[in-house]
Amino acid sequence: MDVTHARPGPTPAIPTARTPRWTDESLLTIQGLRIDYGRGAEAKTAVDGVDLTIRRGEIVALVGESGSGKSTLAKSIIGLLPAAAHRGAGSISLGNLTLTNAREKDLEKIRGVRISLVPQDPGASLDPVKTIGSQLAEVFRLHSSGPRRSRESIRSEVIRLLDLVGIDEPEKRLKQYPHQLSGGLKQRVLIAIAFSLRPELLIADEPTSALDVTVQAKILEVFERLATEFGTAVIFVTHDLAVATDHAVRIVVMRRGRILEDRLVADILAAPEHEYTVRLLEEAAPHSSPTATRAVGTTAPDGPLAVEVRGLVRDFTRAGEQHRAVDGVSFSIARGTTFALVGESGSGKSTTARMILRLLDPGAGKVLIHGQDVTSASRREKRELWKHLQLVYQNPDSALDPRLPIRDIIGEPLRNHRIGSRATRARRVAELLDQVNIPSHLADERPPALSGGQRQRVAIARALALGARTLVLDEALSALDVLTQAQILDLLAHLQRDLGLTYLFISHDLHVVERISSTVGVMHRGKLVETGPTNEVFGNPTSDYTQLLLNSNPGHRLRAHASTRSGVAALATT
């Protein structure tokens, strides 16, 4: 069985106490905290005079855009700030223990025992050369207390933990390596490791941002059950307000290092006090957003085709077993429109995109780009194809060379294809910077000096450098906060209108898909199970799997609240 593409099993029923095992007792107290990066005149304040209290068993969401200070605040609690950061003022206490001036060796005794961290990227956090069982067992060996436990006792506890976080066949998983697990299963392993010693406080830093909606829902249910059953307090760091409103008790809204609001979810939904919170709510619930702009082109769906795929098939062989990743997929994209592919991890959507880009050979089927059959394109023909068909990657941090200035990154395709003189290339780079709304003075900066949204704009500019007419955007917005997502969506809409671009948009974020796409295809286990106009597929799905995706889509409370407000507004005008 290829577990990489297997859907996680159902979360096991974990008994919940009739009444929570926590009270109003304060667990974490932060007073007047200031965290600076650098010193002297060059110092930048990331956390500015924060006061925060977390009670036992409480799930609190730290929400804000990139650079708001939420991750810095979370890491300061567990003492994992980078060397450049230092506390300028304030204090942090866990119960009656002061963490502010704790020595590193004292913090090591606390981490994992009283405070645990669930990091964002499970792929980078798990050791690829150790089995899942050995990595979980290591926690008990590193933090041994009391009588020495037998190997069999530790094994039983590891199996119990894997079962607790909803991992199917836990005995089988013990001998598997991280690469054999899906993203959702790896994230559950990290939660099991973090919870293994029953910490009082669990810090989850963007733990579901890279997961599809069905897996995300199951992961967040685990956090809720741990908090309810064991009284574990959870600080959930996220840029996704839709997720926060569904699962948190309180929401703490941060911006520029300061807390703007710290209130119960129901209170924030009913009457947000700060204009910034209102903007977050509007962008998190597209139906209620007055600024929502769908990037739908003017070309009719039955007009000239930019992309056409017919019966695409692709098999992979792993451990001697053959797995069909893409199974007879056919669809077309009219020029100047946006077609979205959605589905869970392992559904085959990215493999389909790689075949369209001719980065991967189909086992069967055809690929036509702007009417030209490129299925058997030679290396030279592919090089010509890539002038018109380009990919925008998920993570601009890994896609952009941190050593090069922005002007060289954008101009690199022009140099590689030996297009124009140095002067004409410089003019083209300046034109591209203007098209993606990047100030010209940033041309000499390097990627680390730019925000996440600016880096993604650079990636889009580079993709357009050779005059591409079709862009494949593979999870290109998943690492961005909702306000930055909105800005990039508006940019894509304007570029589509101005340049007549066609987009193949791959995403697990149904909110974004609904906003950007004119048509959508839903993939499941390699097959295209449903396709059609986005409003029809999402409004009246014919596939049970599409309905499952829609039911798992976060933001239920936001949508319900927006619907209520719309109903009240309609009554007021009658």
Cα–Cα distance for residue pair 523/212, rounded to 1 Å? 12
Q: How open is the CA angle 169-222-61, to the nearest 5 degrees?
A: 150
Q: How open is the CA angle 77-80-82, to the nearest 5 degrees?
A: 125
List b or e across 479-494, with b for residues whose CB sees 16 or more CB atoms inside 10 angstroms.
bbbbbbbbbbbebbbe
Contacts of 349 (CB under 8 A, 6+ apart): 341, 342, 343, 506, 523
| Assigned token pair, 53 | 């209290």
Task: For residue range 537-566, list pLDDT tens digits in order.
Answer: 999 999 999 999 998 888 888 877 766 655
pLDDT of residue 16: 34
Is the model's pLDDT at 34 over the cut of 90?
yes
- What residues does 258 pair with on adjacent strands? 255
**SS3 of residue 505 by DSSP:** strand
> What helix, strand, coil percent values describe the chain, rounded to 5?
40, 25, 35
Task: For residue range 281-306, list pLDDT tens digits in order.
Answer: 888 765 443 334 444 444 445 568 99
Cβ atoms of 373 and 366 within 8 Å: the answer is yes
- 72-76, 274-278, 295-299: which has the minimum mean pLDDT? 295-299
Whose tokens are 């230092």? That residue is 86
CA 44 from chain center: how many Å?
A: 27
CATH code of the domain made up of 291-388+469-547: 3.40.50.300
pLDDT of residue 490: 93
Is the model's pLDDT at 124 over the cut of 50?
yes
In the DSSP assignment, the letter for residue 357 is: T
Closest CA to 189 of 169, 162, 220: 162
Contacts of 293 (CB under 8 A, 6+ apart): 489, 490, 493, 515
Number of Cα atoms under 13 Å in the Cβ half of residue 283: 22
| Assigned token pair, 202 | 């669990």
- Between 60 and 298, residue with greater pLDDT: 60
- 9-23, 75-89, 209-223: which has the minimum mean pLDDT? 9-23
Whole-number mean pLDDT of the chain?
Answer: 84
Cα–Cα distance for residue pair 333/304, rounded to 1 Å? 9
In the DSSP assignment, the letter for residue 272 is: -
pLDDT of residue 280: 87
pLDDT more than 70, % of the chain: 89
Whose tokens are 């995706």? That residue is 549
pLDDT of residue 102: 84
Helix (H) or strand (E) holding 390: strand 389-392
- Between 447 and 1, residue with greater pLDDT: 447
- Going by pLDDT thresholds of 50, 70 and 90, the confidence category of residue 408 is very high
- Between 430 and 41, residue with greater pLDDT: 430
Task: For residue range 493-530, list pLDDT tens digits in order.
Answer: 999 999 999 999 998 888 889 989 999 999 999 999 99
Number of Cα atoms under 13 Å in the Cβ half of residue 506: 23
Q: What is each CA distance from 233 to 162, 166, 177, 228, in whole angstroms?
A: 20, 20, 30, 9
Alpha helix segments (H runs only) across 436-555: 452-464, 482-499, 510-516, 534-539, 544-552
Q: Strands 201-205 and 233-238, how do they pair?
A: parallel
Q: What is the mean pLDDT of residues 149-165?
A: 87
pTM of the model: 0.78
- Which CATH architecture best describes the domain 3-285? 3-Layer(aba) Sandwich (3.40)
Beta strands in 64-205 (DSSP E): 85-94, 97-98, 115-118, 201-205
Alpha helix segments (H runs only) across 361-405: 379-385, 396-399
Q: What is the mean pLDDT of residues 422-435?
A: 94
Contacts 24+ apart (CB under 8 A), 561-567: 561/269, 561/270, 561/285, 562/285, 562/287, 562/288, 563/287, 565/288, 566/288
Torsion angle of the four alpha carbons 13, 19, 21, 24, in this order, in degrees rounded to the nearest 10: 140
User: Terminus-to-terminus CA distance in the chain, angstroms?
Assistant: 60
| Assigned token pair, 545 | 């799997």
pLDDT of residue 552: 85
Please report, for the chain, the start and end positions of each structural domain, with discontinuous segments joined by +: 3-285, 291-388+469-547, 400-467
Closest CA to 471 of 486, 485, 487, 459: 459
Is the model's pLDDT at 570 over the cut of 60?
no
Q: Strands 85-94 and 97-98, how do they pair?
A: antiparallel
Is the model's pLDDT at 86 over the cut of 80?
yes
- Going by pLDDT thresholds of 50, 70 and 90, the confidence category of residue 316 is confident
Cα–Cα distance for residue pair 330/367, rounded to 1 Å? 9
Closest CA to 531 of 518, 515, 550: 518
- Going by pLDDT thresholds of 50, 70 and 90, the confidence category of residue 569 is very low
| Assigned token pair, 491 | 């940019």
Cα–Cα distance for residue pair 16/518, rounded to 1 Å? 44
List b or e across 167-197, with b for residues whose CB sees 16 or more CB atoms inside 10 angstroms.
bbebeebbebebebbbbbbbbbbbbbbbbbb
pLDDT of residue 290: 34
**291-388+469-547 shares the fold of 3-285:** yes
Cα–Cα distance for residue pair 306/494, rounded to 1 Å? 19
Give the DSSP letter string of 432-448. Answer: HHHHTT--GGGTTS-GG
Task: For residue range 159-180, list pLDDT tens digits in order.
Answer: 988 888 878 888 988 999 988 8
Task: For residue range 318-353, list pLDDT tens digits in order.
Answer: 767 888 999 999 999 999 999 999 988 778 898 999
pLDDT more than 90, % of the chain: 47
From edge to edge, which strands make up the β-sheet containing 85-94?
A: 44-55, 26-37, 85-94, 97-98
**SS3 of residue 114 by DSSP:** coil
Number of Cα atoms under 13 Å in the Cβ half of residue 465: 30
Q: How open is the CA angle 550-553-557, to the nearest 5 degrees?
A: 115
Helix (H) or strand (E) holding 27: strand 26-37
pLDDT of residue 229: 82
pLDDT of residue 191: 86
Cα–Cα distance for residue pair 465/416, rounded to 1 Å? 11
